[in-house]
Each structure stands twice: as C-alpha cells, then as structure tokens.
Amino acid sequence: MFILNIKWKLNKLIKKFIYKLMYINKLKFGENFSFREGLSIILDDGKLKIGDNVFFNRNCSIVSKKSIIIGNDCIFGENVKIYDHNHIFKYKNILIRDQGFKSSNIVIGNNCWIGNNVILLAGATIGDNVVIGAGCIIKEKIDSNTIVRVNKNYILENIRENRK
C-alpha cells in the first residue's frame, strides 16, 4: 500500500518513492500538476493517472484499489473525495470490515470542474467538459457537456412565539 499526504514541499525520500511508482506505472502525473495543502493519495494495489494542467484545491483525497484516470485541464474544489471501491456488506454473519471490497474504475474526462465537497465513487465515468456542482455524490456515467447540480428542497418556516 502506498500512502502519500502531499505537503507544500516533498522531501527527497518521498520524491524517490514517487519516481519508483511512476516507473512501474502505478502513478503518473502530467505536466503542470498543482495542488494546495492537504492532498492525500492512497494507492492500495490501485493505479492513478493524472493528466496535464490538473489542479487540486485544499484537502482533497484519492484512494485507489483498482484504477483512477483523470484527464487534462481538470480543476477540483476543496474537500473532493475520490474512491474507486466500496465495502461489501451482503453477509449478515460476517463483519462488514471482514467482507472485503468491490472495486470499479473511475474515469474523469478532459476540461472538468469538480466542485467543493464532491464525492466520486466506484464506477463514476465523467465525460469531457463536465461541471459537477458542490456537494454531489457521483457513482454513474455523466455524459460530456453536462452540468450536474444537487437539487435540495429546504423547508423554511418562521419561528412562532408560544405565548401563555
């Protein structure tokens, strides 16, 4: 398992390890890859490929047990979470933590904007030129040239004074 919590400056040991992962095709960064503090990458037998001109804002995390591919020119808001796997929980007599995982590739196309607090789950396939609005949870295919937004209906009511 490879765990990388990227800070502003990478020490020489981490850089050497990253280059080794890149050499064996587990990890690939494109040109002009940039990020703010708190980016966390965990490769647990998985692969990660990040295209050119990709930016991650604060406190994003990527966890791969299979494969995550991010296209060129993508931007990620704060607190974006990307997981290409989920726990198996179909057996009543076995603890969930002991049932293992089910993994499925995640693919993000080119020129995508993934907003704050978005969660991308196993099986998410996002086309080119897609905007995923803040707070969305995506686990399915999103066609190219699409905007995805959360449509939450809030119940608003006035506070009533109780007079005795």
3-state secondary structure 35-64: ECCCEEEEECCCEEEECCCCEECCCCEEEE
For the chain, counts of helices (H) and of strands (E): 1, 20
Measure the CA–CA gap between 138 and 55, rounded to whole angstroms: 20
Q: Is 89 helix (H, G, I), strand (E, B) or coil?
A: coil
Domains within the chain, CATH numbers bracketed: 2-148 (2.160.10.10)
Measure the CA–CA gap between 66 and 79, rounded to whole angstroms: 22
Helices (H), the chain: 12-23
Residue of 113, 145, 143 lying closest to 129 (CA atoms) = 145
pLDDT means per 10 residues, the chain with 164 residues, are 49 55 69 87 89 95 95 98 95 93 97 98 98 96 96 78 66
- pLDDT at residue 42, rounded to an integer: 87
- pLDDT at residue 7, rounded to an integer: 47
Residue of 134, 128, 1, 137 lying closest to 69 (CA atoms) = 128
Q: Is 164 helix (H, G, I), strand (E, B) or coil?
A: coil
- pLDDT at residue 8, rounded to an integer: 43
Partner residues linked to 107 by β-bridges: 69, 125
In our burial notation (b when 16+ CB lie closer than 10 A, e otherwise), range 79-103 reads bbbbbbbeeeeeeeeeeeeeeeeeb
Measure the CA–CA gap between 9 and 79, rounded to whole angstroms: 20
